[in-house]
Structure 1
Amino acid sequence: MESERVLIVEDEKIIALDLQRRLERFGYTVCDSAAEGEEAVRKARDHRPDIILMDIMLAGAVDGIEAAKTIKRELQIPVIFLTAYADERTLERAKEAEPFGYILKPFKERELYTTIDIALYKHKVDKSLKKQERLFSAILHSVNDGIVATGIDMEILFLNPIAAKMCGWTEDDARGRSAQSVLSLVDSRSLVPVVPDTLPGGGHPMFFRDVMMKSRHGQTFIVDGSITKIHQIENETEGYVFAFRDISELKRMSETIDYQASHDGLTGLSNREEFALKLSELIDELKRNGGRHTLIELDIDRFKVVNDTCGAMAGDELLRQVANVIQSLTQRRDFSARLGGDEFAVILRDCTLEDSLHVAKRLQDAVQNHKFIWQKSLFPITLSIGVVPLSEGDQDIHAVLAAADDACYIAKEEGGNRISVFQRSEEKYVQRRGQMEWIGRINEALERNMFRLWFQPIEPLNPEAGHHAKAEILIRMQGDDGSIISPGSFIPSAERYGLMPMIDRWVLDNSVKTWRRLKDEGHPIIDRLFTVNLSGPTLLDETFVEYVDLVFKRYEGSPASFCFEITETAAIQNLSYASNFMGRLKDKGFTFSLDDFGSGFSSFNYLKNLPVDYLKIDGSIVQNIDESLVNYTMVDSINSMGHVLGLKTVGEYAKNMAIVDRLRRIGVDYAQGYALAEPKPLP
């Protein structure tokens, strides 16, 4: 190991040589010597010795003390003073250079060796501490947290750059000031200062959350942080370290996410999930404390007219305006929400039924008097409102919401612009309950595969024309006792509550699956064209065409063997959608039949825009053509126009052979009815 290198600064050569001899005997290397202060500084720069022995009194303009101060400032090399003087004034001056020791002349070898050895060790320790200090300083200056150190008196000793930036104080300006004045930490709710005059005892940090920090310049932050004691000898507290992190943006993001999770993005009202939570809390409160509260549900009458006529932007604007009316007429203690679509709800707290009816009437009148104008067109807007008084007996949020739905539905069924109060025992609500029970049975039938496929033949009236015999696929529900339930019992509820698309998919899947089985068995029914009914909502389902592809690929079905049947009303109400929908499926090889023609709009103009293949004349007209000349003439006219348009015609409800004969005489292509065949299970 290399020996430590020493620079001797002594203006008396004899003493310098004596020192060199002694040091070399101790094992040190004397790298050089100097006799003047300026020379000492220069040689220290050149040689960078490990330690310098410096005489205080030197010849020249710069004495040993000044030279030592320069060397410490520039080179950080430890200096031991050599002096024959020990007066107070000299020692006071010498302290300014922060020497690592003093050796009085004449030297004693043991003292000389010990002083140098201790000085070198101390310098080594100092270098290590300063290295650690630089490391810690770099860490404190690079972390994203604010760090503040104080003494035991809570006066600032240190701020890192993040803390300085957040507090608005420079480290120099803050040093010596109280932590309370510089940090300005207060609880964001109570506004009570977080930094007390004295901190509690114990060795654990004191944590704080969601605390407001106000900077010197008035800027406000939300911070999380801690206050930790600095312990030194005998576990005594020497000071405190404050660590804090700016969570303002995180807080804003969290609040935004919470808001978005609980509010409707279009209207700013609470959403259905938040509403359900508040209603559930209110029901629990009613059970504990009683009270009088009311739930009202509001539905915009003829909203679909605005949305379909003017587009989604107009519909959205109408929803926003109605939401604003609701907010303006309800109190702060009440709770308003958009449940979805054009449905809104309000919880009226501490409100009797009589008062709630007044509120409902004000809302109804305000919306009716509100002028909704879109692109210079004025649309009359009204509300159907259902009112449900809440009581201690309400046990289930779902039952309460169902009651509100019932009341609102009854108001709309009675013509709209009505207020209906839910009365469990009234006949119309009992009937409504029955419809709701069918919803459960329909869902159960879908889950348990309790639907059954039936069919009714559609026969060509002129076999010589080569018309293809058909079979209309029908649906039945099988009860738990094995009984067969006709569609008239459950289809109205399915239509009213939006379950038809699921039923349509079940029918299509099972029809194609059955067709594949019958084809593999060589059953003669396969020679017939299978006609599958589709509901109006399915025409609006943008995923249904892809579903058709999936089903026919799964069972290797033939599109040419299937015809989709839609009603005239469904087609006209969604004309553009229906035309696009039918076109996409016809491109795949399917045919289409328009059902119930003559029952609705009965305009031949729109037929030119619908790619149908078969025109099914409404049974209410057909079933009396053997008795009514008017009906006979209507069927004749529809049949003639259908043929002009290149369509094949079907007469349904052919209940006797007299009707069949007249259909044949008119020239109708197909007949369907009990006179030819009753519906029966599909094999």
Structure 2
Amino acid sequence: MRASPSGHEPEFAARPGGFAPGAASAEFGQRALRAIPDGVVIVDLEGRVAFLNPIAAHLTGWSEAQSLGRGFSEVVRFTDAHGNVLDLHEVSVSGDNITALVRRDGHVILVDGAMGPIEENRRQVGWVVTFRNVTAAKRLTNELMYHANHDALTGLVNRRSFESRLERAITTAAGQGCHHTLLYFDLDRFKAVNDRGGHVAGDELLRQLAALLRKQLRERDTLARLGGDEFAVLLEDCRPGDAACVAEKLRSAVAGFEFVWEGERFRIGASIGQLDFADGAHSPDELLARADELCYRAKALGRNQVVAGDAADPAAPVARAGRPVAAFRQRMP
């Protein structure tokens, strides 16, 4: 919770034309608190609710009459990330602006709040807690963030988000000596699906294939659609030998996938470039370009296969299925 900007109650009678001290001033203060569009709760020094405005009553599910004299955390059930209810002191020191509020009926909403001390004659007499419902706004923010980082067609991570994750992996490789692998592949014979079934068929194939590929990977692995029929996988903390097994598993899954559209059956394949890296000497763009080159070599060698290389030694012979690719070097400049 944020600290309230001021720990003092407003001096209504101090302004020209304001209410005189006494009952009129107190009545004005009550009306003002009830009119505030945020939830307002006043708590005494013993942690008991002394006032609850209509918005706070609506958000908590407690009426003012029901809440008066009850403990703060019984009425205003703010919770931490683990679902534990926070008492007044924990709320005051939590430092979080947005937190969960469990209503009396058990429903959970997200609120943005602040709190501060109430003072009278330089002596603290209680606390004021204010909060507002931000559930819809937070949901919208999360949705916007999701769409900014995911491919609209397949739901996979998009290029922008993938490059960000790849950059973090490069950092861990440099600082912790971790072994990572980047797989870059595109689909063989995908154009035939688009040509004969149209883009609607192509889109449906990509959706089905994305679901199939997800099942071949660990939960921690990142599968992305980079655009068109190009995909990438980031295998973090994965040795080259293990990465080769994953690459072959993906290739085999794509090769075994049969797509049916309007009674016609299609078979596709995947040409995969496997790039292993264990240092932070390269940028995401450099790694993607190198992996793309390996993917291109796989296509040139006949498609539907894996070509592997190491980012630390891009000039070294590239291995395919454990064999040197001398034939490729003879056929390609």
TM-score range with shorter-chain normalisation? 0.7 to 0.9
Match of 1:300 among 187, 197, 201: 187
* 1:131 Cα deviation from its structure 2 partner: 4.4
Task: Assess if the C-alpha contact under 8 Å between 2:173 and 2:278 holds in 1.
Answer: yes
Q: Classify 1:245/1:325 alpha carbon distance in 2 versus 1 (closer, same or farther; 3 Å).
A: same
1:225 and 2:105 equivalent? Answer: no
1:394: Cα distance to partner? 3.6
Quote the offset at 1:298 in angstroms.
1.9
Change (3 A) 1:376 1:132: farther
Question: Which segment is superposed worse, 364-373 or 417-426?
Answer: 417-426
Question: Which runs of 5 or more residues in structure 1 are unaligned?
Answer: 1-124, 435-683
How big is the shift at 1:133?
A: 4.0
CA contact (8 A) 1:207 1:226 kept: no
Once the two structures are superposed, residues 470-507 of structure 1 have per-residue CA deviations (whole angstroms, 9 ceiling, x without a partner) of xxxxxxxxxxxxxxxxxxxxxxxxxxxxxxxxxxxxxx
Q: Secondary structure at the match of 1:373?
A: strand
Residue number among 293, 301, 308 corresponding to 1:414 in the alignment? 301
SS in 2 for 1:422: strand
Q: Which of residues 103, 108, 111 is equivalent to 1:215?
A: 103
Counterparts of 1:24-103 in structure 2, within 5 Å, are: none
Could you say which residue in structure 1 is the equivalent of 2:32?
139
Partner of 1:405: 292
Establish whether residue 153 from structure 1 lines up as the match of residue 64 from structure 2: no
SS state at 1:208 partner: coil
Alpha-carbon displacement from aligned partner over 1:615-655 (angstroms, at most 9, x marks no partner): xxxxxxxxxxxxxxxxxxxxxxxxxxxxxxxxxxxxxxxxx
Which residue does 1:635 correspond to in 2? none
- Residues of 2 paired with 1:390 and 1:139: CA distance? 63
What is the Cα deviation at residue 398 of structure 1?
A: 1.8
**For 1:393 and 1:176, how far apart are their aligned partners in 2?**
60
Is 1:181 the counterpart of 2:96? The answer is no
Determine the C-alpha separation between the residues in 1 that align with 2:180 and 2:74. 50
Are the counterparts in 2 of residues 207 and 225 from structure 1 also a CA contact under 8 Å?
no
Aligned to 1:254: 141
> What is the aligned residue count?
303
Q: Residue by residue, what CA displacement relative to the aligned partner does 1:185-209 show, whole Å, maximum 9, x if unpaired?
A: 112x244444345887xxxx98532
Q: Distance in 2 between matches of 1:198 and 1:292?
A: 42
Note the 1:167-206 alignment, pairs <5 A. Answer: 167-187=60-80, 189-196=81-88
| Greater fraction helix | 1
Aligned equivalents of 1:431 and 1:339: distance in 2? 29
Q: How does 1:555-574 map to 2 (within 5 A)?
A: none
How has the CA–CA distance of structure 1 residues 150 and 308 changed in structure 2, closer, same or farther, with 3 Å as cutoff?
A: same
8 Å Cα contact 1:212/1:220 also seen in 2: yes
Deviates more, 1:408-417 or 1:271-280: 408-417
Any conservation in 1 of the 2:19–2:25 contact (CA below 8 Å)? Answer: no
- Write the deviation string for residues 401-453 of structure 1: whole angstroms up to 9, x where unpaired: 11110111111222221111136334758998x8xxxxxxxxxxxxxxxxxxx
**C-alpha separation between the residues in 2 aligned to 1:261 and 1:330?**
23
Q: Which residue of 2 aligns with 1:309?
A: 196
Could you tell me how far apart the structure 2 residues matched to 1:142 and 1:300 are? 62
Report SS of the residue matched to 1:216: coil
Taking a change above 3 Å as real, the CA distance of residues 342 and 156 of structure 1, as seen in their structure-2 partners, is same
Would the aligned equivalents of 1:325 and 1:363 in 2 still touch at CA under 8 Å?
no
- Measure, in 2, the Cα distance between the counterparts of 1:206 and 1:385: 49
Deviations 1:304-330 (A, max 9, x none): 211222112111111111111111110
CA contact (8 A) 2:257 2:268 kept: yes
Q: Deviations over 1:161-211 (max 9, x none)?
A: 111011111110011101011001112x244444345887xxxx9853221
TM-score by length of 1: 0.42
Letter in structure 2 aligned against 1:232: E
Equivalent position SS for 2:279: coil
Q: Partner of 2:9 in structure 1?
A: none
TM-score, normalization: structure 2? 0.84
CA contact (8 A) 1:208 1:226 kept: no
Alignment of 1:542-561 (within 5 A): none
Q: Which amino acid is the alignment partner of residue 87 of structure 2?
A: V
Quote the residue 2:211 is aligned against: 324
Q: Which amino acid aligns with 2:96?
A: F
Distance 1:206 1:361, change over 3 A: closer
Q: CA RMSD in A?
A: 2.5
- Which structure carries more strand by proportion? 2
Looking at structure 2, the residues matched to 199 and 320 of structure 1 have their Cα atoms a distance apart, in angstroms, of 45
CA contact (8 A) 2:171 2:280 kept: no
Match of 1:658 in 2: none
Deviation at 1:130, TM superposition (A): 4.5
Q: 1:314 to 1:138 in 2, by over 3 A?
A: farther
Between the aligned residues of both structures, percent identity stands at 34
Letter in 2 for 1:152: L
Candidates 264, 271, 296, aligned match of 1:384: 271
Give secondary structure in 2 for the equivalent of 1:329: coil
Alignment of 1:210-609 (within 5 A): 210-233=98-121, 235-392=122-279, 394-422=281-309, 424-425=314-315, 426=317
| Equivalent position SS for 2:215 | helix
Instruction: Please tell me the residue identity of whatever aligns with 2:279.
Output: E
